[in-house]
Amino acid sequence: MTRKPDPAGLKLRLIAAQRLRDVLRGEHFLPLTATELPDGRDRALANRLITTALRRHGQINAILEETLAKGLPPRSGTFEAIVRLSLAQLVFLPELGAHSALFLAVEALKRDAKARHLTGLMNAVLRKAQGNSARYGLMDEMLLLPERARVAWSASYGSDVVRQCAEALVAGAPLDLTLRDDDPELVAALDAEPALMDTVRLKNRDRSVEDLLGYQQGRWWVQDVAAAIPARLLHLAPGSAVLDLCAAPGGKTAQLSKSGYAVTALDSDAARLERLRANMDRLGYTPDIVVGDAASFAPATVFDGVLLDAPCSATGTFRRHPEVLWHRAEADIAGRVQLQRSLLANAYRCLAVGGTLIYCVCSLEAVEGEDQADWVKQALPGLALYPVTPGELPGLKEAITPRGLVRTHPGMAPNGQTGGMDGFFVARFRRTR
């Protein structure tokens, strides 16, 4: 007996469900690649379903609460991933058609021995959601954010910014590039617009990063406009010795190299440093590369500048990694705060008297940002705050706080641009003794 061929669209949903399941279990979201799903249209659709399910995670939680009286069935294989992908399609991507969402959800479930007994439940949930899809489509945007983030961000920035963050979560992020050289012809050919200093923003993007003009020749690197701010604030003389702690994959190493500094790039993750090395080879920069622990690294000679881009909750990157919002609990943010303090203390030891330290995190949590600047004041008295002035960030004065710290969030954009920016915090210090 010959087996019936799989219905069209099933394979991509099975692969998407696997990827979403991994992310729900705590992995970082990486879009499916051509190796995983060679057909470009299938791949684009699978990635769209996953990203919609992740961006709408909070609203889908509310739908599941209403439609699953007893909650998610335990030990049910891919059930949760499939129901989330199907709700994403049914409610938030109606142009893809309801029929395929319902039919392929059940077909996908039948392929999973741990979940195939739940086809009745899947049908019931999706039919209820279909009946209510107009109402679900208009759900409160605030449901998009977990309560922890809503409360913490409201306290730090006010409710308007929280709403802007919710809107930015749905909108996603544009692609920003930092240019290796002043290159107006390249900017025009890329259909990009100047965003801030040597950062440009692509207006349209119809291909993968590697296929964009100038990538292979190392004429730019991908870096959100907010992420490009910290390295610009060092202002040292060319040739100065600069230590880039926590450097991989090297966006800031490339900027420091471009400024003409003698750069040492350190990271504890050897595999990520290999990516840094490949990036520097492509761009033609030659920093010293060191595998080491930034909390205990003891250089033979101190540095004129240290940039500490500390490991953090990464909640400022939620437009590209919506899962960070749901993976970060209070306790693990507190763990990162302690790690950041030990890295700050060692960054101070690595810095020459008179040298400049930049501390930054891609986080929207004040405990990892503004509060750390307060901690430095009382715990590391040899470091004095060296305020950032409005003239240093033309077109982005609103990001500079009265104390001279830099705070960006997705509701901001430089020079009247649209498309927002990552949430970043930057503090600059000088070693006084």
Query: Is residue 335 annotated as involved in ligand binding?
Result: no
C-alpha distances out from residue 239 to 48, 81, 242, 303, 312, Å:
45, 52, 9, 11, 30
User: Of residues 236-255, which lie at the interface with ligand SAM (CB under 6 A)?
Assistant: 246-252
Query: Is residue 267 annotated as involved in ligand binding?
Result: yes
- Return the active site residues: 362
Give the nearer residue to ligand SAM in terms of CB position, either 42 or 176: 176
CB-based contacts of 275, cutoff 8 Å, min separation 6 = 248, 249, 250
Query: Is residue 350 near ligand SAM by the rule CB under 6 A?
Result: no
The binder of ligand SAM chosen from 48, 111, 127, 272 (CB under 6 A): 272
The site string for ligand SAM over 351-380 (x = CB under 6 A, - otherwise) reads: -----------x------------------
| Least spacing, CB of residue 241 vs ligand SAM, in Å | 18
Amino acid at 271: A
Query: Is residue 269 near ligand SAM by the rule CB under 6 A?
Result: yes
| Least spacing, CB of residue 246 vs ligand SAM, in Å | 3
Query: Is residue 312 annotated as involved in ligand binding?
Result: no
Query: Is residue 430 near ligand SAM by the rule CB under 6 A?
Result: no
| Least spacing, CB of residue 248 vs ligand SAM, in Å | 4
Query: Is residue 222 near ligand SAM by the rule CB under 6 A?
Result: no
Sign (positive or negative) of CA dihedral 103, 30, 76, 129: negative
Alpha-carbon distance of 181 to 421, in angstroms, equals 23
Stretch that binds ligand SAM, among 3-11, 189-197, 290-298, 423-431 (CB under 6 A): 290-298
Binding footprint of ligand SAM, residue count (CB under 6 A): 17
Stretch that binds ligand SAM, among 108-116, 140-148, 268-276, 322-330 (CB under 6 A): 268-276
Which residues sit in the known binding site? 246-252, 267, 293, 309
Interface residues toward ligand SAM, by CB under 6 A: 246-252, 267-269, 272, 293-295, 309, 311, 362
